[in-house]
Amino acid sequence: MSARVLDAARELTGFDAATVGTGSGVLVVGTEGVGVHTLVDALRGLAPDLDTHIRDIEAGARPGVALVVVDPASSVGDEELQLVARVRATVGTVALVCTKIDAFWEWPRIVRDHRKTLDPFGTMPLFGVAAAAALGGAVEDSGVDALVDWIREALEAPDAVRVERARLAAGVGVVEHLLDDTDSGTDASGSQDELMNARRRLLSSRDRGRADRLAAVRAGLTRARAQSSAELQARVRGLAALAAGDAPDNVPEHQSWLGSRWDDLADGIRRDADERIEEVAATALVGLDPEPSPPEPWAETPLPADGPGDGRRRGGAEDALLVVIGASTGLGIGRLIVAPMASVQTLQWISMPLTLLLGIGVAVWVIRVRRGALERAERTARSTERLSVARSALDHQLGLRFAAAETRIAGQIARAHERRARRTSEQIAQIDDEIRRLRGGVTNRDVRLRRDRAEAVHRELLARSGQLWADRDDENHPSTDEQAGSGEDGTR
């Protein structure tokens, strides 16, 4: 009988329960923090003869019973569902054990919710235990003794009975998984009202957010463009002031110093502009499919080589006036210095030559100082003019960069919404087909027939499994009639 119903389960699910074996060990599994180690210590203290293992079984020692541990302090989800499915498919005979019941007075309600998730059909044994109480000596009040009795009953059965129980339990698990999936699919395709609501939600969200994203891109790039221009202007003013005070006086060194500082300034402005563009793009494109696009290189904006005032200063009336002023100043200072010597008879003959020499020296010094000041002023004016021209060129590049970024980001938004619109249209078309199918009275007969078949197989598996456990109970507690006589197979 078991072979026939297990073959039927294999045809439905593709799972071969004949691969499930059994052994004499006890496998205890659970997620972190549910008290697996405490329960194992309680089992080993109460039943040291049981071969109890945590989460794994050594090679050659197959488990005959598996315990999946949960607790009222945490919820259960996909991890626990996968754990239950794995042990049911490999061990077969599995029980749910809720620990820490002494610490949570609401544990019956919580464990019922856990069982609806992990065992919605209610076919696995369920135990509530207080492992800490058992370790403290209150064994009878802990519930661990009842769990040990069930483990012994499962492991003391003959090998053939234990193997058949394990295979039937594994088959029950996979058939219940199939039934649960079928129920989910039926619920998903549900009523026409749910489908219509889903269709309305899809239609309302098909182009939602596109205008807001484009407006955010435009406002963000405008703000970033203004910030970059203001920063460029402030840095250029600072560099011009620095060039007027700290730049070398030598013309080649001055050119090299100014060019190097300008290159660093331009690189910083470009880098900050790209970062601002990336920030705006990241904000506007959040939730959309990414489109990798390598940044375009910036064009070079060196300082202009030849600009207004770069040529050598022409001599003229200004130079002549400078010489006259220097000569008059020198003669005046010379006469002022030599005047005391004129009253000395012996020094009168050298007063005039000394006056001329001092006047010439002072005149040369005055001329050189005035000419150096004029050259520095002219150099500062030329540097400021060159920086102004370069700033205008870089500011123009910033405008082009931000305009290109707006076009690129807007294109990504448009393409992403087009893809979303296509996917939404496909989903709406599927919903429309389903609505037409429901309105036309067409039902998925194959799914219904498969579910009916799965329910029948599930009932047969449970009936056979219940019979095996009942027969074992009758053997452990024989009645008066059974002691007097029984059938050939030991059952009434």
Task: Please report the domains of the chain, with CATH numbers, ordered by start residue.
Answer: 2-189+448-484 (3.40.50.300), 210-309+370-435 (no CATH)
Write the CB contacts of 490 (distance below 8 Å, at least 6 apart in sequence).
471, 475
- Distance of alpha carbon 290 from its chain centroid, rounded? 14
Burial class (CB in 10 A: 0-12, 13-18, 19+), 337: middle
Share of the chain above pLDDT 70, in %: 71
Dihedral sign of CA atoms 347, 348, 349, 353 in order = positive
- Over range 22-47, report the average pLDDT: 84
CA separation (Å) from 351 to 327, 337, 348, 440? 18, 10, 5, 131
Q: Tell the residue number behind the tokens 């089992």, with chain if given.
A: 43
Question: Rounded mean pLDDT of the chain?
Answer: 75
120-140 tens-digit pLDDT? 888 888 888 888 888 887 878
| 310 Cβ contact partners less than 8 Å away, ≥ 6 residues apart | 382
- The C-alpha torsion from 379 through 385 and 389 to 390, rounded to 10°, is 40
CA 96/CA 87 separation, integer angstroms: 11
Could you tell me the CA-to-CA distances from 360 to 64, 363, 452 in Å, in that order?
A: 119, 5, 124
Sign, CA dihedral 108-149-81-461, equals negative
In one letter, which amino acid is 292?
P
Q: Could you tell me how far CA 31 lies from the centroid of its own chain?
A: 24
pLDDT beyond 60 at 483: no
pLDDT band of residue 486 (cuts 50, 70, 90) is very low
Please give the Cα distance from 210 to 136 (Å, whole number). Answer: 65
CA 271 – CA 401 distance, rounded (Å): 12
* Type and span of the H or E element at 419: helix 348-439
Most confident of the following: 319-323, 358-362, 391-395, 463-467: 391-395
- pLDDT of res. 55: 66
Per-residue exposure over 63-85, b if at least 16 CB sit within 10 Å of its own CB, e if not: bbbbbbbbbbeeebeeebeebbe
138: tokens are: 């209150």
pLDDT given for residue 189 in this prediction: 47
Residue 223: predicted pLDDT:
92
Q: Which of 119, 50, 41 is nearest to 87 (CA)?
A: 119
Alpha-carbon distance of 422 to 427, in angstroms, equals 9
Element (H, E) at 68: strand 63-70
**Strand 63-70 relative to strand 25-30, pairing:** parallel
The H or E element that residue 94 is part of is strand 94-98
Distance set, CA 405 to CA 273, 274, 398 (Å): 11, 9, 10
What pLDDT score was predicted for residue 345?
Answer: 56
Whether pLDDT at 187 is above 50: no
Strand pairing of 51-54 and 63-70?
unpaired
Residue type present at position 14: G
Cα-to-chain-centroid distance, residue 463: 49
Cα distance between residue 245 and residue 417, in whole Å: 56
What count of Cα atoms within 13 Å lies in the side-chain half-sphere of residue 79? 9
- pLDDT, tens digit, 9 for 90 and up, residues 332-384: 766 676 666 656 555 555 666 666 676 667 667 766 777 766 677 777 777 78
Instruction: Among 33-42, 152-161, 224-233, 433-442, name the one with the lowest average pLDDT.
Output: 433-442
Least Cα distance to 379 among 262, 260, 263, 253 occurs for: 253
